[in-house]
């Protein structure tokens, strides 16, 4: 099913993901990290479904807990001591910093999974083919090659199993030998496929200066409106970050939450920016149901 946010012009989607990923890496603040993590999980639930989010949580939750727990175990800075573990103080500041670091890393990974779902290879090629055609083609082929290698590996393994060369049977030496045979076949196929793709793109005149290309993407008023909203909200967030509102002091003691007018405006602007794809999806779903 094609989602509403995916239907926008590639420049709009790419600008949003570039900005939200930059802010997720820049803002070391519980309010911003909570906003970006919650919006990333909700948007991932919308575009990937419950099964995708469930598989993601099975990978990301242990990572989050590992970072959140390991930081106070190895970092004993801070003035608020909660308890002692093996004669080492566990401080509230180190624990909160570990939680924020884990939330930041998980949010970045979830946003990248959403980016991979929305910005397909044809959109990426459309955006950067005229700027750096060789690099754009290389990145597109690399991303596309991951799924192709996985599919081809299953095909080769099934073929080897059919002729009695299954790498899961035999002793250790035979398993290694059969596994190396599968890897050798896979590498040979991947190199042949890359050469064929490069020759095909060269024959079509890819990368030539005066070459015209057909594209289904058109930038309309709706794209301009959303891109303008993203730009304004990003400008407010950048101004707030450079004014010192985007970070929180954890050491030696936690700085109280800033509730000034400027800070609240920054919080609202960031939350609207982070939840913008979700707002678009909910609005489109409501319109579709009302039409039905």
Of the candidates 271, 275, 240, the one whose C-alpha atom is nearest the C-alpha of residue 258 is 240
Tell me what pLDDT residue 19 has: 92
- Strand-pairing partners, residue 85, are 88
Tell me the mean pLDDT in the region 204-215: 64
Tell me what pLDDT residue 275 has: 92
215-248 per-position pLDDT tens digit = 677 878 888 898 899 999 999 888 888 887 777 7
Q: How far is CA 35 from CA 42, 59, 124, 246, 268, in A?
A: 11, 21, 27, 13, 10
238's tokens: 């950048």
244-266 per-position pLDDT tens digit = 777 777 777 777 777 788 888 88
Q: How far is CA 277 from CA 53, 227, 261, 291, in A?
A: 17, 12, 26, 21
- In the predicted model, is pLDDT for residue 42 greater than 50? yes
Question: Domain map of the chain by residue range?
Answer: 5-125+222-291, 133-203
- In the predicted model, is pLDDT for residue 140 greater than 70? no
- Residue position matching structure tokens 């899961």: 168
Q: Do residues 81 and 91 make contact, with C-beta atoms less than 8 angstroms apart? A: yes
The three-state secondary structure class of 51 is helix
**Per-residue b or e along 8-21, where b marks 16 or more CB atoms closer than 10 Å to that residue's CB:** bbbebbbbbbebbb
pTM comes to 0.71
Q: Do residues 36 and 237 make contact, with C-beta atoms less than 8 angstroms apart? A: no
């Amino acid at each position: 099913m094609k989602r509403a946010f995916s239907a926008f012009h590639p420049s709009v989607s790419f600008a949003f993901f570039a900005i939200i990923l930059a802010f997720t890496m820049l803002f070391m603040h519980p309010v911003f990290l909570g906003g970006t993590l919650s919006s990333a999980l909700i948007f991932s639930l919308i575009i990937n479904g419950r099964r995708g989010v469930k598989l993601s949580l099975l990978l990301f939750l242990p990572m989050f807990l590992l970072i959140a727990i390991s930081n106070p175990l190895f970092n004993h800075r801070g003035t608020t001591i909660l308890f002692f573990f093996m004669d080492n103080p566990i401080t509230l500041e180190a624990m909160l910093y570990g939680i924020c670091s884990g939330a930041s890393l998980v949010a970045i990974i979830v946003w990248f999974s959403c980016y991979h779902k929305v910005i397909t290879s044809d959109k990426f090629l459309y955006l950067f083919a005229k700027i750096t055609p060789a690099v754009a083609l290389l990145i597109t082929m690399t991303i596309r090659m991951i799924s192709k290698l996985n599919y081809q590996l299953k095909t080769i393994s099934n073929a080897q199993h059919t002729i009695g060369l299954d790498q899961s049977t035999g002793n250790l030496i035979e398993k290694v030998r059969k596994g190396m045979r599968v890897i050798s076949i896979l590498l040979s196929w991947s190199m042949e496929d890359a050469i064929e793709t490069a020759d095909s793109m060269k024959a079509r005149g890819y990368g030539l200066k005066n070459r015209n290309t057909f594209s289904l993407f058109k930038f309309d008023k709706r794209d301009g409106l959303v891109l303008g909203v993203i730009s304004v909200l990003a400008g407010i967030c950048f101004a707030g970050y450079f004014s010192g509102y985007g970070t929180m002091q954890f050491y030696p003691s936690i700085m109280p939450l800033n509730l000034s007018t400027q800070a609240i405006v920054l919080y609202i602007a960031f939350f609207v920016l982070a939840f913008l794809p979700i707002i678009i999806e909910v609005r489109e779903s409501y319109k579709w149901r009302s039409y039905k």
